[in-house]
């Protein structure tokens, strides 16, 4: 298949009852995509910056990073990497293909020649397009004492809307390990089970 991006493959109202804690979903309009050097030696790394058209009073742009490893043949990158690659690839670059698909980008050659980033043509095609992203509060704190946010690796197209991404999150069993509420919920369940186990009934005399 190679590094092709095709939209032939597959991800509204928001009710308070099904909205998870510490999760934020926004429509992002892409302003800039930059090829960067990965801190963890991934084959490809991107820095993405976008605005929030539905929140015009937002003071700052939204910026996040994406990276991944490619499928290889004799050490040469030949396709987007995933757990379904042969051999399977950890931290695969499929996430970047998925992102481009949800933007509506179709490109036969989206990569640079060395496969370390997106081509200038592909990056230009992304500018002005919209995608829904999900950010979640992590266990780490920023300098103001508030939880840092990370961007999830699943996206939804403008047409799919916010609810498609929310449904994906709610149905996803393997939540990110640094998701703040994930650990809190597990601790709460452990405590509830302990209280129930430790409770002793006192017989009447």
Token digits for 94? 């499929």
Q: Residue 44: which pLDDT band, with cuts at 50, 70 and 90?
A: very high
Look at residue 14 and tell me if it is in a domain: no
Look at residue 48 and tell me if it is in a domain: yes
Query: What mean pLDDT is reported for the chain?
Result: 86
End-to-end CA distance of the chain: 78
Look at residue 130 and tell me if it is in a domain: yes
Look at residue 12 and tell me if it is in a domain: no
Q: Containing domain of residue 169, as a range? A: 19-196
Burial status of residue 52 (CB atoms within 10 A of its CB: 0-12, 13-18, 19 or more)? middle
DSSP annotation of 61 reads -
Burial status of residue 40 (CB atoms within 10 A of its CB: 0-12, 13-18, 19 or more)? exposed
E-strand ranges in 3-99 read: 23-35, 44-51, 62-68, 70-73, 76-80
Look at residue 165 and tell me if it is in a domain: yes
Predicted pLDDT at 98: 98
Average pLDDT over residues 66-83: 97
Token digits for 195? 């209280």
Look at residue 67 and tell me if it is in a domain: yes
Look at residue 13 and tell me if it is in a domain: no
- What's the number of domains the chain is made of? 1
Calpha distance 125→107 (Å, rounded): 9
Look at residue 4 and tell me if it is in a domain: no
Q: What percent of the chain has pLDDT over 70?
A: 80
Token digits for 202? 């006192």
Calpha distance 114→80 (Å, rounded): 13
* CA 54 to the chain's CA centroid: 20
pLDDT exceeds 60 at position 204:
no
Verdict on whether the full-model pTM lies above 0.85: no
């Amino acid at each position: 298949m190679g590094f092709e991006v095709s939209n032939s493959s597959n991800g509204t109202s928001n009710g308070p009852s099904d909205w998870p804690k510490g999760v934020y979903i926004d429509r992002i309009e892409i302003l800039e995509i930059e090829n960067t050097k990965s801190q963890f030696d991934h084959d490809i790394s991107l820095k993405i910056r976008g605005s929030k058209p539905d929140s015009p009073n937002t003071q700052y742009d939204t910026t996040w990073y994406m990276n991944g490893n490619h499928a290889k043949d004799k050490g040469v990158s030949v396709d987007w990497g995933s757990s379904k690659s042969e051999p399977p690839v950890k931290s695969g670059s499929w996430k970047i293909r998925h992102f481009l698909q949800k933007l509506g980008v179709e490109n036969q050659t989206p990569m640079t020649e060395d496969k370390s980033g997106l081509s200038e043509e592909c990056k230009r095609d992304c500018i002005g397009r919209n995608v829904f992203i999900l950010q979640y509060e992590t266990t780490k704190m920023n300098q103001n004492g508030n939880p840092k946010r990370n961007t999830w690796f699943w996206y939804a197209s403008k047409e799919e809307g916010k609810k498609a991404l929310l449904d994906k999150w709610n149905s996803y069993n393997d939540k990110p390990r640094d998701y703040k509420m994930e650990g809190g919920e597990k601790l709460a369940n452990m405590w509830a089970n302990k209280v129930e186990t430790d409770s002793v009934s006192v017989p009447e005399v």
